[in-house]
Amino acid sequence: MINYELYKVFYLAAKTGSLTQAAKLLYLTQPSVSHAIKQLETSLGATLFARNAKGVELTQEGAVLYAYIEQAHTFIALAEDKMAELSNLDSGELRIGGSDSLFKHYLLPYLEAYRLQHPGIAIRLVHGTTPELIALLKEGAIDLGVVRLPIADPQLDVKPGIELQDCFVAGSRFAELKDRAISMEQLLTYPTILFTRNSRARTAITDLFREHGHELTPQIEVGSVDLLLEFARKGLGISFVTREFAARSLEDGSLFEIRLDVKVPPSQVGFMTLRNMPLSKAARQFMAHIG
């Protein structure tokens, strides 16, 4: 049988670097802490601590053990938080991973409604690329992620959301391109502005051009929809954006859509969660708002 109390003593001694401090936190005597550490060292057949002028420090073996115990402590704390949230939604935390553009242009109305209904729930939005968000989800650092599909990972469940349509837009500097369809070859003669390389939108459009034998190399790369729109309005180039996210600029005439003679396939947004891991009540309630 695993004696979890011994590992708790080890964790606090390692975290504080002091057997005395660990004893205070555990309401034990220092000899009791020293005895617990000795028991653990004997059972593992390794020396876990070395004494120094300030207290104790981890040995190489102790550092390896601590890396695992720290993760276990984090997951135990998460489990306790999840259980506490089951009773009500007066407190707790909702952690969502995604991009600035999806937060602003897609989730904002849902977040606003959720916040009004559950003011006691803290909302934390975590920004990252899709691979980064998948890693955070598996680590337990976020409850769910909103990303562009497809996602192929057997450890994840994916719920489809809205469909988006990407397109090229430009400002008045390129007015000669308005109200007519142009070829990929023609577009490549103009300066283009794209998302950074690791974005799904960037990958989709570069793959489409390659399917037709062209290489789309941008003159400017940016990391947000707002910059794509602003740079296009300033006449710095032709931006590739999500039409729904550019709706206001297209309506007020500060930008116009450039039509290609090749169809740009739509993309779908989805919500990913960790398979076989129940959502917190706060996260389940948010997903219910999405429908």
- What does the alpha-carbon distance between residue 206 and residue 198 come to, in Å, rounded to a whole number? 12
State the angle between helix axes of 4-16 and 60-85 in degrees (0 to 180), rounded to the nearest 10: 110
Q: Residue 78: what pLDDT?
A: 83
Domain shared by 144 and 286, yes or no: yes
Domain shared by 147 and 221, yes or no: no
Q: What are the E-state strand segments in the chain? A: 49-52, 55-58, 93-98, 122-127, 144-148, 156-164, 166-170, 181-182, 192-195, 220-222, 238-242, 256-260, 267-274
Domain shared by 228 and 146, yes or no: no
pLDDT in tens, the chain (291 residues): 678 899 999 999 999 999 999 999 999 999 999 999 999 999 999 999 999 988 999 999 999 999 999 999 888 888 887 776 655 566 678 999 998 889 988 999 999 999 999 888 899 999 988 889 999 999 889 999 999 998 889 999 999 999 999 999 999 999 999 999 999 999 999 999 999 877 888 899 999 999 999 999 999 999 889 999 999 999 999 999 999 999 999 999 999 999 999 999 999 999 999 998 888 888 988 998 887
Domain shared by 68 and 108, yes or no: no
Domain shared by 171 and 145, yes or no: no
CATH assignment of the domain containing 70: 1.10.10.10
Instruction: Supply the range of the domain harboring residue 279.
Output: 93-160+272-290
Q: Residue 89: what pLDDT?
A: 67
Domain shared by 145 and 279, yes or no: yes
Domain shared by 37 and 98, yes or no: no
Domain shared by 37 and 172, yes or no: no
Domain shared by 154 and 281, yes or no: yes
247: nearest Cα among 81, 106, 85: 106
Q: For 199, how many CA atoms within 13 A lie in the half-sphere containing its CB?
A: 23
Q: Residue 197: what pLDDT?
A: 73
Token pair 């802490």: residue: 33
What's the number of domains the chain is made of?
Answer: 3
Domain shared by 199 and 222, yes or no: yes
Q: What is the 3-state secondary structure (H, E, C) of 181-208?
A: EECHHHHCCCCEEEECCCCHHHHHHHHH
Domain shared by 80 and 19, yes or no: yes
Residue 171, Cα to own-chain centre: how many angstroms?
32
CATH assignment of the domain containing 152: 3.40.190.10
Cβ(200)–Cβ(268) under 8 Å?
A: no
Domain shared by 283 and 149, yes or no: yes
Q: Among 35, 67, 85, give the residue marking a domain's end.
A: 85
Cβ(266)–Cβ(163) under 8 Å?
A: yes
Q: Is the pTM of this model over 0.75?
A: no
- What does the alpha-carbon distance between residue 9 and residue 19 come to, in Å, rounded to a whole number? 9
